[in-house]
């Protein structure tokens, strides 16, 4: 793989990580500012709401106009963005290997990408 693709992969990873961190920080600040002075309720287990089970539900809940978004959903969207970074990087690396006509590493990247994507659903 040439150095130009390596630089692109590094930039994608840095930008993705910083974007995810910014979303997480914004959701955390918003959540903490709305719950100032409340006693912690972590001694009672309630489980997670159903809309946290998939990314579409989290995004829909975060953008609901009735409640001006759910603060916890925004934090979870940031975590999901952070989890998307490795598959994106592997996909770009595989494309780089294909462009460089390195079929072995492109195939290995494809297998790794398949495992990463399957891990989101199982």
Give the pLDDT confidence of 18-74 residue by residue, as tens digits.
999 999 998 888 877 876 777 766 677 776 666 666 667 777 777 776 655 556 677
The radius of gyration computed from the CA coordinates of the chain, to the nearest angstrom, equals: 19
Is the model's pLDDT at 7 over the cut of 80?
yes
106 inside domain: yes
List of residues 6+ apart from 59 with CB closer than 8 A: 73, 77
Predicted confidence at residue 61, as pLDDT, reads 73
22 inside domain: yes
80 inside domain: yes
Calculate the average pLDDT of the chain.
81
Is the model's pLDDT at 107 over the cut of 90?
yes
46 inside domain: no
105 inside domain: yes
* Residue 38 neighbours by CB distance under 10 Å: 7
Domain count, the chain: 1
Is the model's pLDDT at 98 over the cut of 70?
yes
DSSP 64: -
79 inside domain: yes
Is the model's pLDDT at 113 over the cut of 80?
yes
48 inside domain: no
13 inside domain: yes
| Residue 83, domain extent | 3-34+53-121
């Amino acid at each position: 793989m040439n150095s130009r693709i390596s630089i692109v992969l590094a930039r994608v990873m840095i930008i993705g990580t910083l974007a995810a961190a910014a979303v997480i920080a914004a959701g955390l600040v918003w959540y903490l500012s709305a719950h100032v002075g409340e006693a912690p309720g972590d001694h009672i287990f309630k489980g997670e709401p159903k809309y946290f089970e998939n990314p579409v539900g989290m995004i829909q809940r975060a953008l609901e106009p009735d409640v001006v978004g759910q603060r916890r959903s925004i934090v979870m969207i940031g975590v999901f963005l952070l989890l998307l970074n490795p598959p994106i990087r592997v996909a770009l690396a595989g494309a780089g290997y294909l462009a460089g006509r390195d079929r072995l590493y492109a195939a290995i990247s494809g297998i790794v990408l398949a495992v990463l994507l399957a891990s989101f659903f199982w």
